[in-house]
Structure formats: structure tokens, C-alpha cells
Amino acid sequence: MSEVYAARRERLRERCTAGGSATALVTRPANVRYLAGAAPRGAVLLLGRGEDLLLCAGPPADEAGAGRPDEALRVQALSGPGGDPAVAAADVATAQGADSLAVEEHHLTVTRHRAIGSVAPRLRLSDLGAAVEQLRVIKDEEEISCLRVGAEIADQALGELLESILVGRTERHLALELERRLVDHGADGPAFATSVGTGPNSGRCGHRPTDRRVEEGDFLSVCLGATYRGYRCEVGRTFVIGTSPADWQIALYDLVFAAQRAGREALVPGVAYRDVDRAARQVLDSAGYAEALPTLTGHGVGLEIDEDPQLAPAAMGKLDACVPVTVEPGVHLPGRGGVRIDDTLVVRPEADGGPELLTITTKELLAL
């Protein structure tokens, strides 16, 4: 694996040199992990002149799924308490003879930025911007296989829940149960706070579980994901509780399903982000639900659950092959509830069979 991390750092170094600063300081944890193989708490990566350095606040902990720092990388732990590895890194950069340092201004606080400036007054601080985030968009097959395992785990956890008795249990209990099952099946942990919505709460994007209990006739929507070796996937489904769905439930479900399928089918290399969004959105729009829609149809996933690209009306850019994204349209009707269907897929060329569906739980409307 070591060559992978070294190659990633080399690509970033090329971008930095082209941008005028040969030395860069990476502080955002997911970016540190991408380039160094691990991001112990507080760790920062100095992409130096000659040697790269991972600076940690203390000795790296042996945490489930946390990864190991690239062996080709020098790792240094601060000795005293309370020190900021970012400030120490600026000191090292000066000692290495750097005259400028590109930092992640979208991650560093004003206070930390100023502390770096004080300790290294001769360094010209510039903005690295989202350079690392951009490198992270297209995944290699190793990364995709981590997502694939995570998706299998999430599918398993969801499948087992469906076999249990649901009526009378609270949203919070169902969410905790799902998270326990994720870990049972080998996840590092949940990829994000598991969302379970019943009745009027169903279909709400990012709904945080409450003490409402599942009742007969409810829609039940569930959104969960597993983290596996740091990679985060997402699956969301909506079910009906009881013997048979009401007509409005069937109609709403069919509509969201059609929108989600349209979004999935739009995933081809070269398509504009906004066109994937439009494909799903126009199905819902034309049925009169323009007001009830979330602001986006999907987003990239990887070391974070919400990465570039955004599949949204105003997004700029085009999809590449090997970009994993969610497609997750939904409709929520205030007071009644709604439907949300969410898959993680990898964009693939049509010659390779088109988009690869990672989350394979059925999308039929199940009555539980």
C-alpha cells in the first residue's frame, strides 16, 4: 500500500509546485488519512521539501479501522501536552528552508492560522484550497472494494432488521439496533448517525430518531451506512408497516422509485452533475412535488460521507468513471410522511456494464 500513498502525495506535490508553493500543510483529517494512510487524532501532514512528515499530538492509538501510517513516512509525536501539530509543522517547514506554505484555509481556524503565522513569520502562507478533496473524487479499485464491503455490511444489517418485529419499537431503538448490527458484521462503526423515521417523520432527509413508536399503517424510512477501513457508504429504503399499503402510499412510492431509477440511469461518465440531478428531479417536479424536494439528489462518498461531487441543480462539473455517488431522491409531505430511496453506486462506462450498484437491498415496496 505504501506506493499508493506516496503516489498520492506526489500528485499533490505537483499541484502545489504548479500553484507556486512547494510546501503544503494538510490538516483536514480525511485529507491526512488519504495521503498518509492514517490520521491519528490531531495529526497533520507536512508535504515538505524532500521529506514528508506526519506530526501527531501523541502516540497513534490502536483503534478499530483507523489504519496505519504509511511506513515510508516519518512520524513524529509532540512530546509536551497542549501543543498544536500544525504549529510544529510550520516550524519544521522553516527549518527545511521553505519560503511559502500552502494551508487548508477552509479547515484551519483563524486562531490556528495566526499561530502558524507567529511561529513562522518568514513563511508566506497561501491557500491550498480543495486540492486534496479534488484528488479524492476518483477512487482506485482498492478504495472501491472497501466501499463494496461496507455496502454489503449495511445491506446485511438492514435485512436482519426487516425480519424482526417492528411495531411498537421507537425510532431511536431501531437506529441503535442497526448500528449494533453494523459492528457485528465487521464495520468500524456507522458511517453517519443512522436515521429512522416513522409515520409523519418518514422520508425526511437526515431525520434524527425520536421516541416515536412504529405503528400499523406507517411509512418507515431507514437510512444507514457502514464505515469499512475508513470508507463510508449509504443505503436508504422506505417500507410500509402492516398488511397492505394505502393507495397514496403506493402512488408516492412508485413516483420516488421512478425518480431514483432515472437518477441511477443517468450515471454515465461525462454527464454533468446537474443533469443527474435534473433526471431525478424532473420526475418529481412534473408530479407536482417541486416544493417538497431536498436540495440535492446525491453526493460523492468515500473517506467522508458527504464528499464532492454534489448532484444538485447549481453544481458545476462532469462525472468521471470510478466516482462513487449516492442517488437519494425523496418526497416528504409535512404531517403525513414520505418516501426516500437511497443507493450508493460507482460510475462505470457502459462498456463495463454501466453504473455498479453497491447497495443491493430490494427496492420493491415491502409491507412488513
Give CA–CA dist 176/224, Å, rounded: 11
Of the two residues 75 and 176, which places its CB atom closer to a second copy in the complex? Answer: 176
Of the two residues 81 and 121, which places its CB atom closer to a second copy in the complex? Answer: 81
CA 341 from centroid of its chain's CA atoms: 17
Shortest distance, CB of residue 60 to a second copy, whole angstroms?
11
Place of cell 431501531: 174
Of the two residues 189 and 354, which places its CB atom closer to a second copy in the complex? Answer: 189
Shortest distance, CB of residue 59 to a second copy, whole angstroms?
10
Of the two residues 224 and 358, which places its CB atom closer to a second copy in the complex? Answer: 224
Of the two residues 45 and 293, which places its CB atom closer to a second copy in the complex? Answer: 293
Give CA–CA dist 58/79, Å, rounded: 7
Shortest distance, CB of residue 113 to a second copy, whole angstroms?
5
E strand or H helix that includes residue 221:
strand 219-224
Shortest distance, CB of residue 190 to a second copy, whole angstroms?
10
Residues at the contact surface with a second copy, assessed by CB under 8 A: 61-64, 66, 81-82, 103, 105-111, 113-114, 127, 172-173, 176, 179-180, 183, 206-211, 295-296, 312, 314
Shortest distance, CB of residue 255 to a second copy, whole angstroms?
22
Which one-letter amino acid corresponds to residue 45?
L
CA 140 from centroid of its chain's CA atoms: 16
- Burial code (b: 16+ CB inside 10 Å, e: under 16) for 111-127 equals eebebbbebbeebebbe
Rounded (10°) CA dihedral 134, 137, 141, 147: 130
Q: What is the DSSP string of 50-107?
A: S--EEEESSSPP--TT-----TTSEEEE-SSTT--HHHHHHHHHHHTT-SEEEE-TTT
Of the two residues 192 and 321, which places its CB atom closer to a second copy in the complex? Answer: 192
Shortest distance, CB of residue 179 to a second copy, whole angstroms?
7
